[in-house]
Amino acid sequence: MLRSRFAARHRRARPTERCYTSPMSHAKNTAILLVDCPDRKGLVAAVAEFLYTHNANILHADQHQDAERNVFLMRVEWDLTGFAFDLADFPKVFGPIAERYSLRWRLEQSARRPRLALFVSKYDHCLSDLLYRHQSGELACDIPLIVANHPDAERWAKFHGIPFHVLPVNAKNKEQAEAEQIRLCKDHGVDLVVLARYMQILSPRFVAEFPMKVINVHHSFLPAYVGAKPYHRAYERGVKLIGATSHYVTDHLDEGPIIEQDVMRVSHRGRDAGVAPRHAGGFVDEGAGPGAERALAGGAVAHRPPHPGVW
């Protein structure tokens, strides 16, 4: 049953045309302000009044207050038509309010498409799913390159017309390989690195080059089963739910802030039916991964460890 579902999923995921940049289903000209700060009265009023004063038409507004940590999170999106000043001046104009309320903020534009680098090893189900969603326009981003430490997934890169770089990694050449990976990402103006079943542990040096800009799609429902072969260990433990987690990469293995998760039910019959744990896990990998990338591409994640705000 699981095997047939897996095959059906990938029959549906065959794009009809190749593309490098995915089409957008609808073009928007909006700005997105993401805020986090110590909680206090008047925050919503201050931001809303600032935008109203400068002729902003607010389209979406979300906020959350974490009483335990005394943290306030906010996401506001507004139409830029008729907005009173150029966004290049936003830091200067918004600065007094940010200083008054101790706001940590960042500004995104819907018209600017983030650039993603996809990293992969041998298992290609996450990669193929992300590429299909990108091609269909579901992921509003650009993918200028795919980096791999094995050649197995190159067929997907060729099919979608995306440059594919194979950089083998072992204990002796890891430092040099990562230096080349960093160079490629910077040369291509990458905003976000997505580890789509890339089965190498990134060094602190790599993580430091892209702080809070590397996402791992880990094939377990974290914090359970950190590290390699989580589904095998879950099966040996007899769990009835397996999962996948998209999280930021930090220096601590599989402990970065969680962005998205998905689960599915399994039973002891999976092994008897000849379904390897990784095949069942493919379904939830493909749920947790795109969810995180969609949120980040849409400016919907407020970077506030250990609980990022995901709108």
CA 80 – CA 86 distance, rounded (Å): 9
Hey, is 102 helix, strand or coil?
A: coil
Write a three-state SS string for 198-209: CCCCCCHHHHHH
pLDDT band at 179 (very low <50, low <70, confident <90, very high): very high
| pLDDT tens column, 262-293 | 877 777 665 543 344 444 344 444 445 555 45
| pLDDT tens column, 227-266 | 667 766 777 777 777 777 888 898 887 778 888 888 777 7
| pLDDT tens column, 139-165 | 888 999 999 999 999 999 999 999 999
CA 117 – CA 184 distance, rounded (Å): 9
Residues labelled as active-site residues: 254
Sign, Cα dihedral of 100, 105, 109, 112 = positive
pLDDT for the residue 139 = 84
**Do you find a cis peptide bond into 223, omega within 30 degrees of 0?**
yes
As a whole-number percent, the residues of the chain with pLDDT over 70 amount to 73
pLDDT surpassing 70 at residue 119: yes
Least confident of 30-39, 94-103, 162-171, 237-246: 237-246
pLDDT for the residue 53 = 97
User: Which is higher by pLDDT, 33 or 253?
Assistant: 33
Query: Nearest Cα to 145, choosing from 186, 205, 198?
Result: 186
| pLDDT tens column, 34-74 | 999 999 999 999 999 999 999 999 999 999 998 888 999 99
CA dihedral 154, 156, 160, 161 (to 10 degrees): 10
pLDDT for the residue 145 = 97
pLDDT for the residue 259 = 82
Domain with CATH 3.30.70.260 in the chain: 30-109
DSSP string, 36-57: EEE--TTHHHHHHHHHHHTT-E
CA 179 – CA 168 distance, rounded (Å): 12
CATH number attached to the domain at 30-109:
3.30.70.260
User: What fold does the segment set 2-18+113-310 form as a domain?
Assistant: Rossmann fold (3.40.50)
pLDDT for the residue 28 = 81
Domain with CATH 3.40.50.170 in the chain: 2-18+113-310
